[in-house]
Structure 1
């Protein structure tokens, strides 16, 4: 089945480059040239992935991403930007993007990232296993949902993927580098702060006391572990 990608960028040369390479790779494409048009199309149509530029006229990519995630649009998003600082990457990923690619980029790199994001999405969506229960935390992989003591929790897609990965490795100590590789499927050279920020947001949502976490433990100098709690 052909997969459809929405390309959102105000630079026609970038759009044409992406359209050509994606269609050569077997994808169907659609285009939006500003944030409002992107929202209208994402609300109306079901895309398999959205390529979203940060610097857009009117409504920027960060705002678009926040809007879509708040509307529970879970379509994977690959964010494009000319900014490459760690803070910019965190802002993009924290808004709900699944991956982040800086300009200039090679078409091969874009295709590799797209396939990685789609593969992770497919792997998680196809998991029809029963609920994962850890203490009062219930995780439903096939629905991208989780509850804490019966209360529904709200996550970005990437936050949920991180929680799911921790849950499927509960009781095991996971390094920041391993989390970057297995959850983001990309080597952010030295950008382990991205993991710390996402862990902090997860704790705000699942921990009764974020200063004394019961679920996600910090293993000093190494990484994190989701405790294998019993009800």
Structure 2
């Protein structure tokens, strides 16, 4: 069965192009022409990937991502936008997107990025069916649900990958290159700022004070260490 991609864009021409690219990569597609339509479809259908425009008729794509993440929907999201400012890409990552590509895009690159994200997300689910416990933290790898002191904390797919890396190797120092290799892989270009965005997002969710972290600590000149 082919993997399914939800395309969220209010421009019919862009939707048609995105569908053509996805079909050429043996992916099935559905289209939502507004944020509300996308949220409704995600309530009733499961997708392997979401391609999200930023400028929608009824709300910004950023808002759609925030809502679906707050509902516990962890489907990988790639923003496909004509806005190419650094702020937009970093903000998109901070609210739960997994990647950001600007228009006009190269079809071969887009297709490769989509398939890589889908593949890594599926591999993440297959890590183990056991419950991973580390200090006050618990991660159920079969349901991809994360808890601190028994209270669930919703993570995006990239946050989940990063948290799993830390939970499986408590106390180990990870350089940014190591985090890049484990979480993004070699097929996607990620700069240091993106890694810092995800570190700060995790700190905001698991630290008592993200400005004075004691769980994910910075090892000056090297990288980061997780202390459960």
Question: Which residue matches 2:18?
Answer: 18
User: After the TM superposition, which of the residue ranges 143-152 and 112-121 deviates more from structure 2?
Assistant: 143-152
Root mean square deviation of aligned Cα: 1.9
For residues 133 and 157 of structure 1, the distance between their equivalents in structure 2, rounded to whole angstroms, comes to 19
Aligned-pair CA distance for 1:183: 1.6
Question: Which residue matches 1:126?
Answer: 126
Distance 1:107 1:207, change over 3 A: same
1:109 aligns with 2:133: no
Report if aligned partners of 1:124, 1:142 keep a CA contact under 8 Å in 2.
no
Aligned-pair CA distance for 1:209: 4.8
For residues 202 and 148 of structure 1, the distance between their equivalents in structure 2, rounded to whole angstroms, comes to 12
Aligned-pair CA distance for 1:212: 4.4
Q: Secondary structure at the match of 2:142?
A: helix
Unaligned 5+ runs, structure 2: none
Q: Secondary structure at the match of 1:94?
A: helix
Question: Which residue matches 2:39?
Answer: 39
1:213 aligns with 2:191: no
For residues 164 and 103 of structure 1, the distance between their equivalents in structure 2, rounded to whole angstroms, comes to 32
Aligned-pair CA distance for 1:7: 1.0
- TM-score, normalised by the number of residues in structure 1: 0.88
Q: Please give the residue correspondences for 1:179-194 in structure 2 after superposition, counting only pairs within 5 Å.
A: 179-185=179-185, 186-188=188-190, 191-194=191-194
Question: Which residue matches 2:166?
Answer: 166
Q: Secondary structure at the match of 1:73?
A: coil
Question: Which residue matches 2:50?
Answer: 50
Question: Which residue matches 1:75?
Answer: 75
For residues 92 and 133 of structure 2, the distance between their equivalents in structure 1, rounded to whole angstroms, comes to 30
Aligned-pair CA distance for 1:13: 2.1
Q: Please give the residue correspondences for 1:192-211 in structure 2 after superposition, counting only pairs within 5 Å.
A: 192-211=192-211
Aligned-pair CA distance for 1:81: 1.2
For residues 154 and 21 of structure 2, the distance between their equivalents in structure 1, rounded to whole angstroms, comes to 35
For residues 35 and 210 of structure 1, the distance between their equivalents in structure 2, rounded to whole angstroms, comes to 31
Size of the aligned set, in residue pairs, is 226
Report if aligned partners of 1:218, 1:225 keep a CA contact under 8 Å in 2.
yes
Question: Which residue matches 2:152?
Answer: 152
Question: Which residue matches 1:143?
Answer: 143
For residues 55 and 179 of structure 1, the distance between their equivalents in structure 2, rounded to whole angstroms, comes to 31
- TM-score, normalised by the number of residues in structure 2: 0.90
C-alpha distance after superposition, 1:30-80 (max 9, x if no partner): 111221221222222111211111111111110111111112222211111
For residues 167 and 84 of structure 1, the distance between their equivalents in structure 2, rounded to whole angstroms, comes to 34
